[in-house]
Amino acid sequence: MLDNQSNHTPIAVGDGAAIPHKSDAGLFTAWRIAFFGSIVLCLFLAFGRPDQYMAIFKFVPDGILITFKVTLGAIVLAIVFGLIAGLGRISSNRFINGTASLYVEVIRGIPLLVQLFYIYYALGRFIKIPDMLSAIIAMAFCYGAYMAEIFRAGIQSIPKGQMEAALSLGMSRRQAMHQVILPQAFKVVLPPIGNEFIALLKDSSLVSILAVSDLLRRGREYASETFNYFETYTVIALIYLIMTLFFSKLISIMEERLNEGR
C-alpha cells in the first residue's frame, strides 16, 4: 500500500483516518461542518439540556486526559519501535532483517484487541508492568509494526542515487543514512505518521478493556450506573470526533508547511 506512493499523493489512504486536503473541496467542507457542528452540539447539550448532559461532561474530563496520555505515549514509543524495525527491514544483515520482518508479520497478523489482552493479562503473569504503561506498550508494539513499514517505504522512496552520491563523497554508510537519507525520508513519512496518530487516537478506546480509565471507560462507568446510554454515548462519540477532527486539521496544516519547504 505504501510502496507505491508517489510525491503527488503524499498520504496513503489508510484505515479510515481521513485528513482533508484543501484541494478536496467536498471533504474540506464536510470537515468544517462536522467540526464546528459537533462543538456547537456539545455546547447546546451542556447548556441547553444541563440536567441530562452537564453531569456527563463533568464526569469524563480525566478520561480525556488519559486518552491523550495513552495516545501520545504510544505514538512516541511506536515511532521508536518503527524506526528500529524499519531500519532492520532494509538491513542487509540476514539476522536483523529476519527478526524485524518477523516482528512486522507477527504483530500485523494479530488483532490489536487480542494483543492488548495478551500483553496485559497473559504476560502480566510473568512480568509486572503498571496498568497505564502496559496499555501504552501494547499499543506501541502494535503500531510499531505498521510504523516500520512506513519508515521502510519512506527510506526506499529516496532515490538510490542519493546514497551512491553520499558514498562517493566519502561518507560512511551510517553517515549517509543519518545525514542524507533519513532527513529526506522523514518528510515523506510525516503525513502517514500523522494518519497513524489519528488511527491510534481512535484505537486507544480499546484500552478501556484493560480497566484503564480512558474516555470510553469513563463513559461506560457513567452509563452503567445511570442507565443514560443514549446521552452518554452521544457525548463520548462527539468528544472523540472533535479530537480526531482537530488533530487531522493540525496534521494537514503541518503537511502543507512541509510541502512549501520542498
Contact region for another protein (CB under 8 A) — 38-46, 95-103, 128-136, 182-190? 128-136
Question: Which of 133, 104, 140, 137 minimizes the C-alpha distance to 2?
Answer: 104
Binding of another protein by 55 (CB under 8 A): no
Cα separation, 220 vs 53, whole angstroms? 15
Q: Which grid cell is 89?
A: 527491514
* Residue 69 contacts another protein per CB under 8 A: no
Exposed / middle / buried, residue 47 (Cβ in 10 Å: 0-12, 13-18, 19+): exposed
- Closest distance to another protein from the beta carbon of 233 (Å): 9
The CB-of-76 to another protein minimum distance in angstroms stands at 23
Whole-angstrom Cα distance, residue 54 to residue 56? 5
Q: Note whether 174 and 108 are within 8 A (CB).
A: no
Chain center to CA of 123: 24
Q: Does 229 bind another protein (CB under 8 A)?
A: yes
Residue closer to another protein (CB basis): 59 or 247: 59
**Interacting residue with another protein among 105, 121, 256, 259 (CB under 8 A):** 121
Residue 130 binds another protein, judged by CB under 8 A: yes
Choice between 184 and 226, CB closer to another protein:
226
Residue type present at position 42: C
CA-wise closest residue to 199 among 116, 142, 258: 142
Total number of residues that touch another protein (CB under 8 A): 18
- In the complex, the smallest distance separating the C-beta of residue 49 from another protein, rounded to whole angstroms, is 18
Residue 211 binds to another protein (criterion: CB under 8 A): yes
Interface ranges with another protein (CB under 8 A): 121, 124-125, 128, 130-131, 209, 211, 213, 217, 220-221, 223-227, 229
